[in-house]
A = this chain, B = another copy of it.
Amino acid sequence: MRYELYYTASNQGRGEFVRLAFEETGADYVDVARLAGPGQGPEAVTRFIQDAGVQHPPFAQPFLKAGRLVIGQTANILLYLGPRLGLAPRAEGGRLWVHQLQLTVSDLLKEIQDTHHPVAHGLYFEEQKTEALTYTRHFLAERLPKYLGYFERVLGGAQGRAHMVGSSLSYADLSMFQLFEGLRFSFPQTMRRVEPAYPGLVALHDGIATRPNIAAYLKSARRIPFNDRGIFRHYPELESPEQ
């Protein structure tokens, strides 16, 4: 079966967590918004969301078409794909655990998005910059260490395990990689300063980056560069308000 991922082509965003799972496992998938055929392209994504005839409409992108199923919510897509791509444990307890970690990643992603959009999605960053400065100061001081400390604890630290869940690669590992990629792009000064406190996560990130399929993907045109339209944005003033 060919999986069809529906997500904006303008930035990595939440879709990237699904793309990484596909790329690592060499799955047969298409990135619909980035194709140019009939029923493809960016319009296909929004058209589907607005289609009143859809039985199980997604609230937002990304969503996945898998045969007759339409699955929305990033973590839900990975819940479905995990066992099929060999990126989740077989037992129910393990599948719930890796999903729980992914849901915690989702929570963190929302808080990261709010660093540049704390007031309203519908406003430009420049219109909520004052609030963004305050929000980000609290986020970097209080929330980011709490999340990263938690994930480091799950991993067992420097002498810990190589994977977030059990002894095999799971989508939680790929998500940790992407989280670090994005955080380094958004908050480079902060990450340089705090990363020594998270040796397990840094080692995990570096290990994922050198996996053959991931390394090839990162070098390919399929990997959309980070930019200022996604969840992860680099606004230097947020990190160094005194500048």
**A residues adjacent to B (C-beta < 8 A):** 52, 56-59, 68-69, 71-73, 75-76, 79-80, 92-93, 96-97, 99-100, 103-104, 107, 110, 114, 118-123, 131, 134-135, 138-139, 142-143, 147, 150, 153-154
B104-A56 in contact (CB<8A): no
When distances are taken between beta carbons in the complex, the residues of chain B under 8 Å from A79 are 79, 96, 99
Contacts A57-B150, A57-B154, A110-B110 given; does A119 touch B131 at CB 8 Å: yes
Least CB distance, A56 to chain B, in whole angstroms: 5
Q: List 11 A-B contacts (CB under 8 A).
A: A57-B154, A59-B147, A71-B100, A75-B103, A76-B100, A107-B110, A114-B114, A118-B118, A120-B134, A120-B142, A131-B134
C-alpha spacing A185/B139, complex, angstroms: 29
Chain B contacts of A139 at CB under 8 A? 120
For A104, list chain B residues within 8 Å (CB).
Answer: 59, 72-73
Interface pair B103/A76, CB less than 8 Å apart: yes
**Which residue on B lies nearest to A108, using beta carbons?**
B59
Q: How far is the CA of A103 from the CA of B73 in the complex (A)?
A: 7
Known: A131-B119, A131-B134. A80 touches B59 (CB 8 A): no
